[in-house]
């Protein structure tokens, strides 16, 4: 199937569902170009995200430990977060690394982006590497965050 076939999916009706803070629900009724069958698609509209692979001068990976409500467990993760309105993905990566860990870097490399789950999400996740990071600042955590570095 070529990418041009995607344009053949006709959107018949769209309406907005609930706003879930991190996601806004959208329902689309679309017609399958293969058989004209109508499908109700649920889409979670979300802002773009960034992930930061932060490496110290001796190639150690900086991770954060935080409680995740979905799994009800503490997870080890790389610094990450939402790209705020008006920010580039690099600006968001720099901010998220600083806020979550207190680490900063002058050496940034863009790795590209992925669509995290295009079956029902409409956003992109951008990946950045920060090399030779050093801890220069205290964490700047929001009221709903509790992270260990």
pLDDT single digits (tens) 47-60: 999 999 999 999 99
User: Are 66 and 137 contained in the same domain?
Assistant: yes
User: Are 57 and 15 contained in the same domain?
Assistant: no
User: Are 137 and 118 contained in the same domain?
Assistant: yes
What is this structure's pTM?
A: 0.87
User: Are 30 and 63 contained in the same domain?
Assistant: no
- Domain holding 27, by residue range, is 3-45
User: Are 123 and 54 contained in the same domain?
Assistant: yes
User: Are 81 and 99 contained in the same domain?
Assistant: yes
User: Is-contact 89 111, C-beta < 8 A?
Assistant: no
User: Are 73 and 33 contained in the same domain?
Assistant: no
Whether the predicted pLDDT of 142 surpasses 90: no
For the record, the structure tokens of 76 come out as 């080890």
% of the chain residues with pLDDT over 70: 95
User: Are 12 and 68 contained in the same domain?
Assistant: no
pLDDT tens digits along 1-17: 555 545 589 999 999 99
User: Is-contact 120 42, C-beta < 8 A?
Assistant: yes
Beta bridge partners of 65: 76, 148
Q: What is the pLDDT of residue 3?
A: 55
Whether the predicted pLDDT of 77 surpasses 90: yes
State mean pLDDT over 71-88: 96
């Amino acid at each position: 199937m070529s990418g041009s076939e995607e344009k053949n999916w006709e959107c018949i009706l769209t309406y907005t569902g609930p706003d879930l803070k991190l996601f806004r629900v959208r329902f689309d009724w679309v017609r399958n170009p293969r058989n004209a069958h109508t499908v109700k698609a649920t889409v979670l509209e979300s802002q773009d995200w960034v992930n930061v692979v932060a490496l110290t001068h001796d190639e150690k990976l900086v991770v954060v430990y935080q409680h995740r409500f979905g799994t009800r467990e503490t997870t080890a993760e790389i610094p990450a977060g939402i790209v705020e309105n008006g920010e580039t993905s690099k600006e968001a990566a720099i901010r998220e690394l600083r806020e979550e860990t207190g680490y900063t870097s002058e050496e940034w490399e863009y790795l590209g982006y992925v669509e995290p789950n295009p079956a029902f999400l409409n956003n992109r996740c951008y990946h950045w590497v920060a090399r030779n990071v050093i801890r220069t600042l205290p964490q700047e955590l929001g009221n709903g965050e509790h992270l260990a570095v």
